[in-house]
């Protein structure tokens, strides 16, 4: 029976049986495209060429493969402590966010650290890449440049050059000549990524694949290849902000959720080794609605400011606008404040923002969010130099969170003097800080706002 074609979402890679205007899996509109079936190969079993080894044989003291560090600490940490040989890494991000800049700088750093690096651009001519390198002060770095888009040519080049690291910028411009669809289509992107990753594994070459996050349906986004690679990094940032955050969302060789912070300058990306200072630098006087949260991003403590604004709403259904935090979690905290502490937000618009363009995912920020909301609603500023963290349960109880000591140490390092934490937290490491332990939200509200 002839295999019929399938329909794939270019945004999330979900496969559907028939075409639809909207992808059920990710909710995106107009992203589903038809894919021709793969040509049916021979159905007979091949000669068993795979070699198996017993797991116990692997338990000898083989040292882990040596990682190479680039010297760009923000990048090395996100990779899990440097580049693992023969690994495949995907770097996704919006067009223009700075992926090419980051990877050219990374290539130069790895080359200077002794790796043979090949930077293949499908978007710019070698002369343009060289001009960019000049601007970044990297012309003397021993990086090989290539401007190619044909996958077969690239694999041949890699095979003859045998670099330790190849950077492919970007996967959407690459095309395999045996796949009958346009570059950037799901089939091409998937095939190109698959061949590059397979090649990398077989020949011991590390590859970094750049993927643009796309908004429209004709071009496949990086999510289509996420499952093929060892490490998935996203380069994020807000337009108009200079900060860029490199975030690991998947890493076979290190912790996920690790972030590296950079700042886009005239001379390329500069590392921000102390992000707390940066995220708080715009803070001046204590103001109502602003609360500093002692968070953990990956393995590193980061202090960030939550800002809330609460205003009477002209609308029947008041607005709930959130940037950098989960909207559902905000609704939960508003509900707990209303049901457990008797503080209603009905008829009030609520805006919540994380300063600096960072996105916070930890439930540990619950208490800081509640504090910001209350502070805005009551128009009472929290004492200056106070950090807040803790998880709020539906009953209104405050729960201790992980890595309390690291959070407190970071707060102390940055000159904070007081911390509000859930009761029963392990507060070692907070010497020098006045620590106020609160067991439930009602006590917190009474103590801080007299409500």
Q: How many CB atoms lie within 10 A of CB 22?
A: 13
Is residue 201 a known part of a binding site?
no
C-alpha separations of 312 from 239, 322, 351 in Å: 29, 17, 12
Of 47-55, 89-97, 252-260, 331-339, the window that binds ligand TYD (rule: CB under 6 A) is 89-97
From Mg ion, ligand TYD, none, interface partner of 312 (C-beta below 5 to 8 A by class): none
Using the rule CB under 6 A, which residue among 50, 63, 267, 314 binds ligand TYD? 267
**Residues 93-122 interacting with Mg ion (rule: CB under 5 A):** 100
Q: How far is the CB of 124 from Mg ion (least distance, A)?
A: 7
Of 92-100, 137-145, 220-228, 235-243, the window that binds Mg ion (rule: CB under 5 A) is 92-100
Of 97-105, 139-147, 181-189, 392-400, the window that binds ligand TYD (rule: CB under 6 A) is 97-105
122: contact with ligand TYD by CB under 6 A: no
Is residue 98 a known part of a binding site?
yes
Total chain residues near ligand TYD (CB under 6 A): 15
Buried b (16+ CB within 10 A) or exposed e, 395-405: ebbbbbbebbe
Query: Nearer Cβ to Mg ion, position 100 or 276?
Result: 100
Going by DSSP bridges, is the β-strand pair 268-271/165-169 parallel, antiparallel, or unpaired?
Answer: unpaired
Contact (Cβ atoms closer than 8 angstroms) between residue 184 and residue 218: yes
C-alpha separations of 58 from 63, 64, 86 in Å: 11, 12, 19
Contact (Cβ atoms closer than 8 angstroms) between residue 112 and residue 141: yes
What does DSSP assign to residue 314? Answer: S
Using the rule CB under 6 A, which residue among 130, 132, 201, 399 binds ligand TYD? 132
98: contact with ligand TYD by CB under 6 A: yes
Interacting residues of 248 by C-beta distance below 8 A, sequence separation 6+: 78, 79, 80, 231, 232, 233, 254, 255, 256, 257, 258, 259, 298
Query: Nearer Cβ to Mg ion, position 82 or 268?
Result: 268
Of 92-100, 187-195, 353-361, 441-449, the window that binds ligand TYD (rule: CB under 6 A) is 92-100
Is residue 99 a known part of a binding site?
yes
Query: Nearer Cβ to ligand TYD, position 249 or 414?
Result: 249
Task: For residue 88, list its beta bridge partners.
Answer: 207
What does DSSP assign to residue 6? Answer: E
Is residue 296 a known part of a binding site?
no
Spatial strand order in the sheet of 15-16:
15-16, 6-9, 32-35
As annotated, the binding site includes 93-100
- Site of interaction with ligand TYD (CB under 6 A): 93, 95-101, 132, 135-136, 264, 266-268
Residues annotated within a binding site for ATP: 93-100
């Amino acid at each position: 029976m002839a295999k019929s074609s399938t329909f794939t979402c270019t945004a999330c890679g979900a496969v559907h049986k028939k075409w639809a205007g909207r992808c059920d899996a990710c909710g995106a509109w107009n992203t589903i495209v038809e894919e021709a079936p793969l040509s049916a190969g021979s159905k007979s079993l091949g000669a068993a060429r795979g070699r198996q080894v017993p797991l116990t044989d692997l338990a000898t003291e083989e040292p882990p493969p040596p990682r190479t560090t680039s010297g760009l600490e923000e990048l090395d940490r996100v990779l899990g402590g440097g580049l693992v040989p023969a690994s495949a890494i995907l770097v996704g991000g919006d067009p223009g966010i700075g992926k090419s800049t980051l990877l050219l700088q990374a290539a130069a750093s790895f080359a200077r650290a002794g790796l043979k690096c090949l930077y293949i651009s499908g978007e710019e001519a070698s002369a343009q890449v060289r001009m960019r390198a000049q601007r970044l002060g990297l012309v003397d770095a021993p990086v090989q440049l290539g401007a190619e888009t044909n996958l077969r040519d690239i694999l041949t080049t890699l095979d003859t050059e045998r670099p330790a690291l190849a950077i492919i910028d970007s996967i959407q411009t690459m095309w395999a000549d045996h796949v009958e669809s346009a570059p950037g289509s799901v089939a091409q992107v998937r095939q190109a990524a698959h061949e590059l990753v397979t090649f990398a594994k077989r020949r011991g070459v590390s590859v970094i694949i750049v993927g643009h996050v796309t908004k429209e349906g004709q071009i496949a986004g990086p999510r289509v290849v996420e499952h093929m690679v060892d490490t998935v990094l996203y380069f994020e940032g807000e337009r108009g902000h200079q900060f860029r955050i490199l975030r690991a969302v998947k890493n076979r060789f290190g912790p996920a959720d690790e972030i590296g912070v950079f700042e886009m300058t005239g001379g390329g990306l500069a590392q921000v080794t102390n992000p707390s200072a940066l995220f708080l630098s715009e803070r001046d006087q204590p103001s109502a609605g602003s609360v500093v949260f002692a968070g953990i991003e990956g393995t590193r403590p980061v202090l960030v400011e939550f800002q809330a604004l609460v205003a009477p709403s002209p609308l029947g259904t008041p607005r709930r606008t959130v940037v950098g935090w989960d909207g559902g979690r905000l609704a939960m905290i508003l509900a707990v404040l209303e049901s457990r502490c008797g503080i209603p937000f009905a008829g009030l618009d609520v805006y919540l923002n994380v300063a600096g363009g960072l996105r916070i995912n930890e439930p540990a920020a619950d208490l800081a969010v509640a504090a910001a909301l209350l502070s805005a609603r009551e128009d009472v500023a929290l004492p200056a130099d106070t950090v807040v963290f803790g998880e709020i349960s539906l009953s209104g109880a405050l729960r201790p969170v992980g890595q309390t000591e690291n959070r407190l140490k970071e707060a102390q390092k940055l000159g904070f003097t007081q911390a509000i934490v859930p009761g029963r937290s392990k507060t070692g490491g907070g010497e020098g800080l006045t620590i106020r332990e609160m067991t439930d939200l009602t006590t917190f509200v009474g103590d801080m706002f007299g409500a």
